[in-house]
Structure 1
Amino acid sequence: MNPLRKDPQQRLMGLYRDLPDAEREMLLAFAEFLATRGGRKDVPVPEPQAIPRPEEETVIKAMKRLSSTYPMLDKARLLNETSMLMSQHMLQGREAREVIDDLEAVFARHYRELCEGGQ
């Protein structure tokens, strides 16, 4: 049987089984996000991934870390604020550590709003 013609639920389960543990967690978090975005209120918002902040980190790497920490957030909703902060660093020379602090605050605020049902 052609694997593309399988039942979608079977395909999804096969993909899930083939993923490493970290990617399984991301897939589950994304599925929960989609369920809440679709109006389901009974699906709890997943917890952020515990990814510690390195001592030395670039703004770009911080964005990647924060995106992995909060896979349940809609990145399009973050785009305006995060791009403004990245521009302050790249174009205006604002200190990376300060920008990363602000990026962490933006992601945390959006997560709180999601938990409160505001997103």
Structure 2
Amino acid sequence: MTSDEKRLLKLYRALSERARASLLDYADFLAARDNAPEASVSETPLAIPRPVEESVIKAIKRLRHNYPMLERDKLLNETSALLTKHVVHKHPAAEVIDELEALFKHHYDLHVQAKQDQTT
């Protein structure tokens, strides 16, 4: 086990159950981002409906699937900030998910505009 792995395990063990769950959710988010295969992507949103009950992590995953044409790196900072707003600052999930929806829509609108600018 590396020193980083030992440190992470020590920190994990010191956390409350709720904080452990949040840490695992965030680790899932990072792992999914790093392991996603590149493939041909739709240029239109997939219209995946928002469930009545949804965690912020699941909303991020849903929105990433819904907007496959968006570059993840361009969304990373803002998405991470909203996730932090929920996990650390205890903002309600529904409120943060609304902001995530608006964020992804805004980036999609910018993507469409950039595509139109390329063709003119």
Match of residue 29 from structure 1: 41
- Length-normalised TM-score, structure 2: 0.62
Q: Distance in 2 between matches of 1:110 and 1:92?
A: 24
Match of 1:53 among 24, 30, 50: 50
| 1:43-71 Cα distance to aligned partner (Å, 9 max, x none) | xxx11111000000000000000000001
Q: Secondary structure at the match of 1:72?
A: coil
Which structure dedicates a bigger proportion of its chain to helix? 2
Deviation at 1:113, TM superposition (A): 0.2
Q: Distance in 2 between matches of 1:77 and 1:28?
A: 19
Which AA in structure 2 matches 1:82? T
Report whether the alignment pairs 1:63 with 2:60. yes
Report whether the alignment pairs 1:78 with 2:75. yes
Q: Secondary structure at the match of 2:114?
A: coil
Structure 2: where are the runs of 5+ without partners?
A: 1-37, 116-120
Alignment RMSD (CA, Å) = 1.6
Match of residue 95 from structure 1: 92
Q: Distance in 1 between matches of 2:53 and 2:46?
A: 20
- Length-normalised TM-score, structure 1: 0.62
Misfit runs of 4+, over 3 Å = none
**Percent of aligned positions that are identical:** 49
